[in-house]
Amino acid sequence: MLYSVISKKERLITKTQKTKAIYLMLISSLSFSIMQVFVKLSSEEVGTFEQTFFRNLVSLIIAAVMVRREKLQIFQEIKQGSWALWGRSFFGFLGIVLFFYAAGHARQADVAMLNRASPVFVTLLAGIFLKEKIDFVKVASTILCLVGAYIAMQPSFDSNPFPLLAALLAAVVSGMAYTMLSYCKNYTHPSAIIFHFSALSTVCAGLMMLPNLVIPSPKVLVMLLMIGIFAAGGQFFLTYAYQQAPASEVSIYQYSGVVFTAALSYAFLGETLSRSSVIGGIVILGAIFWVFESTKRQKSA
């Protein structure tokens, strides 16, 4: 199925589509948070690039099945997506590499905090390049989410500056990738977007894992498959969310991942929930609820 260029009026988003995009993004954040639990559990036995390889391999297989099921002409879809599709895949993978490098060389709280800046760059880039409306609620709620993430994670920023720069660059290139993903919705089918991104990432991660390849135990192999399954779910839901509504409106719901990750870490990894984690989570949920209610009022007016 090919997506032709459509007029501005034809791209007007309905209330139902926006609501659907919100739920898709929340499910995506939950899926990625569950994935992080299995990443943590398997990290002692296998390396980062091996985890990344399995993460993208499962997505590639599922996307290939979807492409075949929907009878898409994949090469035509790629041609139709042009530079934006290649940009989405390249910057998406680069963001993963930068984030994993930073995570391996700096304090986790510092890296996680900087990585949460990606929705800020999505909002800015969507306003500049996609001409999306950036109003007070979007700006203020994004700032609130950053404040909430800071309170919850309590970063000190006393790590080596180079890995911290890598973490910040990961947020920037992720913002670029998600902006291009939103642009691609007018040209390329979601399954083709995911197939392209997964294929490029699987090949690149596969080459990078070879020097330190570890044959996983059956238990860890199951964990790696779980990483792939939940990463695939997160990727599919995220892609479809950006297909349904403007990037600047749905990106903020990615901050729900801070809350999901804290809850899952407490439940399955034995990590404690500090007072700051609870307060930060409440601030993030309050900001998300503010955007949700503001969106409802705008569509009802």
pLDDT of residue 159: 65
| Secondary structure of residue 301 in the 3-state scheme | coil
The mean-pLDDT minimum among 109-123, 160-174, 201-215, 270-284 falls in: 109-123
Measure the CA–CA gap between 249 and 235, rounded to whole angstroms.
Answer: 18
Percent of the chain with pLDDT over 70: 89
Residue entry with tokens 């993978």: 93
DSSP state of 43: T
Please give the residue that has the higher pLDDT: either 105 or 183: 183
**How large is the average pLDDT for residues 129-137?**
81
pLDDT of residue 109: 62
**Is the pLDDT reported for residue 11 higher than 60?**
no
pLDDT of residue 228: 92
**Is the pLDDT reported for residue 158 higher than 80?**
no
pLDDT of residue 148: 85
Measure the CA–CA gap between 256 and 92, rounded to whole angstroms.
Answer: 20
Band (pLDDT 50/70/90 cuts) for residue 1 is very low
Measure the CA–CA gap between 42 and 219, rounded to whole angstroms.
Answer: 9
Picking from 163, 280, 62, the residue whose alpha carbon sits closest to that of residue 54 is 62
**Is the pLDDT reported for residue 2 higher than 90?**
no
Please give the model's pTM, rounded to 2 decimal places: 0.80
pLDDT digits (tens, 9 = 90+) for 162-202: 888 888 899 899 999 989 988 887 789 999 999 999 999 99
Band (pLDDT 50/70/90 cuts) for residue 300 is low
pLDDT of residue 35: 87
Residues in the chain: 301
Measure the CA–CA gap between 263 and 36, rounded to whole angstroms.
Answer: 12
Q: What distances in angstroms separate CA 291 from CA 31, 121, 145, 298, one per listed residue?
A: 22, 17, 11, 10
